[in-house]
Structure 1
């Protein structure tokens, strides 16, 4: 398989992985309320989903390093498919709990193996440059952002434009997962791993997790990458927490605020895709992952400062200023994604690649949770401008440390043996 062929398949699987999420997000809460689930129970279902991800993130990453990437992606698609069928069709609260847990399992299973498969595939070709790897990673991130943008718009429009049930976007999302499952089976070849037995899994998974965690605390560049990722997610979390209410205040009513934020959020995903596309162009021009990261961080930090300033503007002007800064931030984060991934993979061997990606995902998840709580409290105690300003600092400092870090020796690519 050529490097460009692997990049296209990586982008396709990334698109199919995130399209279902975009489709069901706009209708999720309303669908559950329509099924008679209380708002408190809806929140509890969200907690069940989150706990499943946090508990399984590292074990599933270790399992992907032991038994292979493709089985994990197939299992992720299958779990998500069943979860969405239950969400769309079930009425029982127990089945809806099962749906939330299965969605969390599916997300944990699929959080790292797709990217790990792509990097392993292209690194098997010695002539592939770091710049080409970075562009391929950006291509996959762009496909994910396009999927979220398209899915969010479609998921919101289908029930109301076509006067169909709220469950229809969810069932379409399930069909997308079925397509992902089939594509993974037939279009994602990978080298054979050592035959997995119960004993090899019980020995190999804890070893892979320990190796990945150890690498994450010993490698200076990886520490900075993980810290930067946590800062990025914390900034996103506080924006997602504060912006909807802010939009409602600026628009003059909750309904108009929901509409304004929904439009801005959908276009934000598209802006992230634009940033990923710009990242590929900048990588060709600058030929340096660090230089491209510096551009992306500068754009994102500037946009957070603009968000802080926009809080002083009222009415339509405030909405436009906030929306412009919001979109600019997503452009900056889109620019950063591919080059930062390339820097990460330059320090990680095949045997622990999926585990380290799971560590990155888990740290980002925790950073988002802590950031939302801490900066949300700061906004209540002081102002939204202060919260956005601190978010800019949380992104600027680790970002600067990342682009100025020394580069340790490149990790050797090796296949796991159990």
Structure 2
């Protein structure tokens, strides 16, 4: 068995100054309520457009290769901004960074609504990348640190499972309403796909207000020293990259988890970007596909929530690492099967099965990643994983578009699913390390961390 260092032994990405506890800090129970509420307001707007992004681009005149390339720009933006901004949540606080991210989200949805050209969709994608770079990690980090402040070393995999279920239910509800709006088409002066995007924009504003009102955190982060640390974190990006590579080199578990994002995100191209295209091919138009994709996305994220629940059960029974491996295998195999689906009904069934498997991996993966992070670098570690996913997708999504356009959409789906199987190898270090988990948690609690 590979020797795993005591938890957590690796150095933080940056030397942080710990914030002073707030007298009004939330209890774990109250923090859980806020965490789940903001998860819902964050993902409900996405439900209205989750199945329509590519269809909206195609309807506005883009080719499939152009549409997926424009979407891939988001990954490039995340890759460029993730590390320079990753220390902002640690230096300034989780709340101000989440507020800034929510503002960027509103701007990105407004840009998406008015876009009519490849360049305009690229601008919308860049703004979305800014949002995702700032949004990746601070809410989870805030919740985990709040819980650990009163219960050091507590494992939060069950709460993360609940949040993932909430995420799925929020997207499902939004997608179901979106499909109804497309079928209803009450604003005949615009495309049937237009109104769901407007609703998404309005709900994004609601999420911004919810973050401002509900999230509670010490305010001492926004002083001159906090701003100086944030500025320094941006200047330290080259050093952060070096320390990040050293962290990955010395921590095989974290290295595998970060690499897993490359395989996972590529497999997701089949369901997130190519399923609407395939449905439009089978039904004959983007608007007909939009009517189906709303309820289908709702069902997909509903079964995603079921998958997250199954993940919580399997991780409690067999261990978190084994649950993650099971989810990775099932998701990849079913993605390949989706490429072989015959007709609209077959595609619907296959898509639902794929999203069930997608939910089976999410909470286990998040729990494994949090095990390898400490309070001082938790946001940075989460950002590193996010950067890996978005950066690699920026490479593979245009390739998937070219493959679908030159060969066929099912061929691109099958290729994405087969590539996703490589993620199993990335989880083996976590499986070996899990045997020593009880002893490491006991040591952590003994140290009062």
Distance in 1 between the 2:402 and 2:72 partners?
20
For 2:196, the equivalent position in structure 1 comes to 169
Distance in 1 between the 2:397 and 2:180 partners?
29
Aligned residues of 2:328 and 2:357 also touching (Cα < 8 A): yes
Distance change >3 Å, CA 377–CA 348, structure 1 → 2: same
For 1:182, the equivalent position in structure 2 comes to 209
Among residues 425, 430, 433, which one is paired with 1:397 in the alignment?
425
Aligned to 1:18, the other structure's residue is in SS state: helix
Residues 337-352 of structure 1 aligned to structure 2 (within 5 Å):
337-352=362-377
Matched, 1:303 2:338: no
Q: Deviations over 1:265-308 (max 9, x none)?
A: 4422222111112223344x427322332442343244245446
Among residues 361, 370, 383, which one is paired with 2:386 in the alignment?
361
How many residues are aligned here? 401
Q: Which is worse superposed, 202-211 or 64-73?
A: 202-211
Distance change >3 Å, CA 136–CA 371, structure 1 → 2: same
Distance in 1 between the 2:426 and 2:51 partners?
33
For 1:200, the equivalent position in structure 2 comes to 229
Q: Deviations over 1:176-195 (max 9, x none)?
A: 23322232223222244373
Among residues 45, 61, 64, which one is paired with 2:86 in the alignment?
61
Aligned residues of 1:275 and 1:332 also touching (Cα < 8 A): yes
RMSD: 3.9
Query: What stretches of structure 2 of length at least 5 have no aligned partner?
Result: 1-25
For 1:236, the equivalent position in structure 2 comes to 268
Aligned residues of 2:94 and 2:139 also touching (Cα < 8 A): yes
Q: Which is worse superposed, 261-270 or 22-31?
A: 22-31
Residues 259-298 of structure 1 aligned to structure 2 (within 5 Å):
263-283=295-315, 285-286=316-317, 288-298=319-329
Distance change >3 Å, CA 158–CA 15, structure 1 → 2: same
Distance change >3 Å, CA 93–CA 169, structure 1 → 2: same
Q: Deviations over 1:176-230 (max 9, x none)?
A: 2332223222322224437345543232345484444542343111011112222
**TM, length-normalised to structure 2:** 0.74
Aligned residues of 2:72 and 2:397 also touching (Cα < 8 A): no
Distance change >3 Å, CA 386–CA 76, structure 1 → 2: closer
**TM, length-normalised to structure 1:** 0.79
Aligned residues of 1:21 and 1:173 also touching (Cα < 8 A): yes
Distance change >3 Å, CA 277–CA 47, structure 1 → 2: closer
For 1:134, the equivalent position in structure 2 comes to 157
For 2:353, the equivalent position in structure 1 comes to 328
Distance change >3 Å, CA 188–CA 344, structure 1 → 2: same
For 2:100, the equivalent position in structure 1 comes to 75
Distance in 2 between the 1:29 and 1:245 partners?
7
Distance change >3 Å, CA 252–CA 337, structure 1 → 2: closer
Matched, 1:157 2:180: yes
For 2:13, the equivalent position in structure 1 comes to none
Among residues 207, 214, 220, which one is paired with 2:252 in the alignment?
220
Shift of 1:337: 1.4
Distance in 2 between the 1:404 and 1:227 partners?
17
Aligned residues of 1:237 and 1:372 also touching (Cα < 8 A): yes
Distance change >3 Å, CA 269–CA 389, structure 1 → 2: closer
Aligned residues of 1:27 and 1:156 also touching (Cα < 8 A): no
Among residues 160, 165, 169, which one is paired with 1:146 in the alignment?
169
Distance in 2 between the 1:29 and 1:62 partners?
33
Query: What stretches of structure 1 of length at least 5 have no aligned partner?
Result: 414-418
Aligned residues of 1:293 and 1:340 also touching (Cα < 8 A): yes
Distance in 2 between the 1:378 and 1:84 partners?
28
Aligned to 1:291, the other structure's residue is in SS state: helix
Aligned residues of 2:31 and 2:146 also touching (Cα < 8 A): yes
Q: Deviations over 1:117-170 (max 9, x none)?
A: 11111111226732xx00111122222222222222323432542512555433
Distance change >3 Å, CA 280–CA 108, structure 1 → 2: same
